[in-house]
Amino acid sequence: MKSMLKGLMVVSVITMLAGCSTWDGMSKSEKGMVVGTGVGAVAGEAVTDTILGTAGGAAVGAFVGSEIGKNL
């Protein structure tokens, strides 16, 4: 139950952040960061099943997504 609640919270935060931004006005680097944050948070949660893992995954995902976006 706790894992499901944490997963739901992650999805809620991602949805909230995505809804607050305008995708069209963002650079490729910023778009990559948004996508990377979401993917990293979900992956961190799945692998570690801890809040720290989720936050760490989001941070790493944001960095990697930003770097990939710069090269697109």
**Mean pLDDT in order along the chain per 10 residues (72 residues):** 73 72 81 89 89 90 95 89
pTM of this prediction exceeds 0.85: no
Which pLDDT score, from 0 to 100, does residue 20 have?
66
Which pLDDT score, from 0 to 100, does residue 21 have?
61
The domains of the chain are located at: 1-71
49 phi-psi bin (left φ>0, alpha ψ -120 to 50, beta other)? left
